[in-house]
Structure 1
Amino acid sequence: MKPPITMSLFVLLAGIIIHPAPSGSQPATTNPIQGSQIIFNDPTPPSQGTPTGSRRGGASRTCYRSEETLTALVPIQNQIVFGQTSVAHPAFWFYLPTHPDRPMTIEFWLQDANDNLIYTTQITLSDRQSGLMQIAVPSTATPLAVNQLYTWTLQGSCQSQRSAESSSLVVKGTIQRTRLDTTLQKQLTTATPLEQAKLFAAQGIWYDTLNALASAYRSNRNDRSIANAWNTLLKQIGLESLAEKPFLPAGKDVSNRNP
């Protein structure tokens, strides 16, 4: 004969059934800073007002080696070259391939939705070395307005020293300024550059992600965690081939022109 179930055991079992496990036992939301990898959450471009663009400039025998081309470091979705920033005066990154015998001149301009010129600059590259270059919009230019779309264009051209033959390539895309929420602002104040890049990436803010990480990588090329993050970020947008390219200084002959 089986022993009777005692009242205390019955109460214990009932308590387990009635009272669910505390909410703290549920998996916690992943903190982007604590993750070992940087994860860029690419936002969907606005459905209206976002034109298509070009991330690569195509091939040109006159200016560049056949395996290289002018490239903007920015995501592309369905032929739409689009990225966000939280700052009023953003910075852009480009891969500039050069020919050893043909100096390259690049011109950059930024326009609003009504084609009003926000900023333009022309740079002559005299060192003729291929690499990554940053073009920053100065604080003297008109600040970008929140939620507005702007179009940027970079044109690279060169001329053969042996003939009058010249060639040019163009890359083009759209940038939108977004507003940071208060929680993210507080997190950024105490974060390292690598942590800042992870926070921006989690929010899908491309230009701030890239600039924070590029700054960290340029200063700490031997830091494995930063190098891995740089490679991972560029791989996520299909530009892993540019991860090992050198960083170029600003062109020696620079002519900045504000409208």
Structure 2
Amino acid sequence: MKLIQRTLFSLAFSVTLFSQIGLVQAQSFSKLKPLQISQKFKPRVDNKPNPVTDGGATRGRSCLKKPESLIPLTPANIVGTTVSERPTFFLYVPDSTATTLEFNIFATGETENLYEGKLPMPKESGIISFTLPENAPPLKINQTYQWSISMICNNEDFSANPRISSWIERIEADSSLLKNLESSNSRNLAAIYGEAGIWNEGLNAIAKQRCIEPNNLLVRMKWRQFLESAGLNEMISKKLINSCSVNNR
């Protein structure tokens, strides 16, 4: 009888112990889950609305092979944000007969380009990235810039060349962001930047993850969430063309 009682007590203790361990593990996972899985971009309270210009609209269609457009990968209706003095820009390039891309950026209120350069045309449609090179002047903190990309199809009639433009503002990284970045690893960078409302570095971080783990379902889900939260649903399935192999610096 005593043997049966001891056995029952031992079983009860084991069940209680494993239940407590399971509860602790569940609580720990629930704390990690938002950072590991949630990958949304949350605009800052002080994000500026896009100035009244042609925005992301594409002009000219003379060399496009399909009814598609150049599309800047920037959050809808607000100015993109960066903490880098030479950030990375992303855009979707459709199939065309253009031979080159032309990049321009200038500060708000200025007429002279801060930097201009030519980029090679990708051999297929997809998302490309471009990082301001070291010889480009650095972006100034709290300054808004307009950047544009043109597909050079016609050297005589530039109005026939497809072109898009968008906006970016360099802001200063606050102490909270810097602290989070110091204690993070590459897998969590996009979540940290997204939570802080830093668009360009957040997109660049999740794009790098896709390059490293192209078949990882969790990474693909994070990519989807990040783009959806910025209104870029149509870009989710597009291929990354040069981001995994080209460094513009």
* TM-score computed with the length of structure 1 as normaliser: 0.72
State the partner residue of 1:144.
Answer: 139
Percent identity (aligned): 23
**Is residue 103–residue 158 contact of structure 1 (8 Å, CA) maintained in 2?**
yes
| Residue 200 (structure 1) shift | 0.7
Match of 1:17 in 2: none
Change (3 A) 1:58 1:167: closer
1:106-126 CA-to-partner distances (Å, cap 9, x unmatched) read 11111112233221111232x
Shift of 1:212: 0.9
The equivalences for 1:1-259 within 5 A come to 34=35, 36-43=37-44, 44-46=46-48, 50-57=51-58, 60=61, 62-66=63-67, 68-77=68-77, 82-99=79-96, 102-113=97-108, 114-125=110-121, 128-158=123-153, 167-249=160-242
Moved more, 128-137 or 230-239: 230-239
How far is the alpha carbon of 1:190 from its aligned partner? 3.1
SS in 1 for 2:79: strand
**TM-score normalised according to structure 2 size:** 0.74
- Count matched residues: 210
Per-residue CA deviation, residues 67-111 of structure 1 (Å, 9 max, x unaligned), is x2110000122xxx5200001001100100013xx2442111111
Structure 2 gap segments, 5+ residues each: 1-30
Distance 1:32 1:75, change over 3 A: farther
Question: Is the 8 Å Cα contact of residues 32 and 199 (structure 1) preserved in structure 2?
Answer: no
Instruction: Write 1 or 2 for the structure with the bigger share of helix.
Output: 2
Matched residue type, 1:198: A
Deviation of 1:37 (Å):
1.4
Whole-angstrom distance in 1 between the partners of 2:32 and 2:192: 9
- Which structure has the larger Rg? 1
Contact 2:150 2:163 in 1 (8 A): yes
Per the TM alignment, residue 167 of structure 1 is displaced from its structure 2 partner at its CA by: 3.4
- Structure 1 unmatched runs, 5+: 1-29, 251-255
- SS at structure 1 position matched to 2:101: strand
Provide the aligned C-alpha RMSD in A: 2.8
Aligned-pair distance for 1:33? 5.8
